[in-house]
Structure 1
Amino acid sequence: MSFLGDLLWLVCGGLLSGLGWLCAGLFWCITIVGIPIGIQCIKLSGMSFAPFGKEVRYEGGAGSFLVNILWFFFSGLELALGNFFLGCLLCITVVGIPFGMQFFKLAKLSLAPFGAVVENA
């Protein structure tokens, strides 16, 4: 069932969200210092392309907190607002509510992706 959800997800805006994560990751990988941040973004783009059947667990320390602050100002706010907007747009219809909830999950992840672990549910 999650395969069908992921397939419909790509049509309902998941492709845009995944490309946003991928572009952010490539942007961060331009500099040597930003490569660890870019790699995390590219990993999370996989979740953004196929979010159904996956859960996010947060476990982080002081290092994750500091990188999340840097991330928030340079890339996180834009991704979070985009995902939140698409989630609100899809929640207008009853059929779009499951997709909107996935966008809200990604918006939360967009605010603080470091220290987050993606697991299959």
Structure 2
Amino acid sequence: MRTLLNVIWLVFAGIWLAMGYVLAGIVCCVLIITIPFGIASFRIAAYALWPFGRTVVRDPDAGALSAIGNVIWFVVAGIWLAIGHLLTSIPLFLSIIGIPLGLANLKLIPVSLLPLGARIVDTGDVEAFYRR
């Protein structure tokens, strides 16, 4: 079921979201000082391509620089990305087949708000991540 939902997601929303995040990542990497934001954009792009069966966990080892970077990201881009994900999830909820896709779009909001210090792991590997 996960694979089927991921394929449907990829066709209707995932490829477009991922391309947007990749473009943002390239721009951030070209600007040198924003390379950490570019890497975070690439991470979100990978998650946007294949969201079902994966989840976002917070890295307990993320330090103060991640927190400062997240504040900057939130003000500059995060709030707008979250609003975009929220608004694009509404049409997805209008059909029965789109409900899981709308939920996947909402699932992208936390990582688009605060991407630094976030890790994307398989759903079954969450406990293993925290045990390390």
SS at match of 1:29: helix
Partner of 2:127: none
SS at match of 1:32: coil
Report how far residue 100 of structure 1 moved: 0.6
Report how far residue 64 of structure 1 moved: 1.4
Partner of 2:22: 22
Q: Equivalent of 1:110, from 109, 112, 128?
A: 112
- Give the letter for the 1:50 counterpart: W
- Give the letter for the 1:114 counterpart: L
- In the alignment, is the contact (CA less than 8 A) between 2:21 and 2:42 conserved in 1? yes
- In the alignment, is the contact (CA less than 8 A) between 1:80 and 1:111 conserved in 2? yes
Which deviates more, 45-54 or 64-73? 64-73
SS at match of 2:121: strand
Report how far residue 75 of structure 1 moved: 2.2
Partner of 2:83: 81
Report how far residue 34 of structure 1 moved: 0.9
If the length of structure 2 is used for normalisation, what is the TM-score? 0.83
Q: Describe the superposition over 1:30-58 as per-residue Cα deviations: whole angstroms up to 9, x where unpaired.
A: 12111122012112211111101101111
Give ranges in structure 1 of 5+ residues lacking alignment.
Answer: none
Q: CA RMSD in A?
A: 1.4
Q: How many residue pairs align between the two structures? A: 121
- Tell whether 2:56 aligns with 1:56: yes
Give ranges in structure 2 of 5+ residues lacking alignment.
Answer: 124-132
If the length of structure 1 is used for normalisation, what is the TM-score? 0.90
Q: Distance in 1 between matches of 2:83 and 2:39?
A: 22
Q: Describe the superposition over 1:3-45 as per-residue Cα deviations: whole angstroms up to 9, x where unpaired.
A: 2211100222122211121121112111211112201211221
- Give the letter for the 2:84 counterpart: G
Q: Describe the superposition over 1:83-110 as per-residue Cα deviations: whole angstroms up to 9, x where unpaired.
A: 1111122112222111111100112211
- In the alignment, is the contact (CA less than 8 A) between 1:28 and 1:38 conserved in 2? yes
Identity of aligned residues (%): 34
- Give the letter for the 2:68 counterpart: L
SS at match of 2:96: coil
SS at match of 1:43: helix
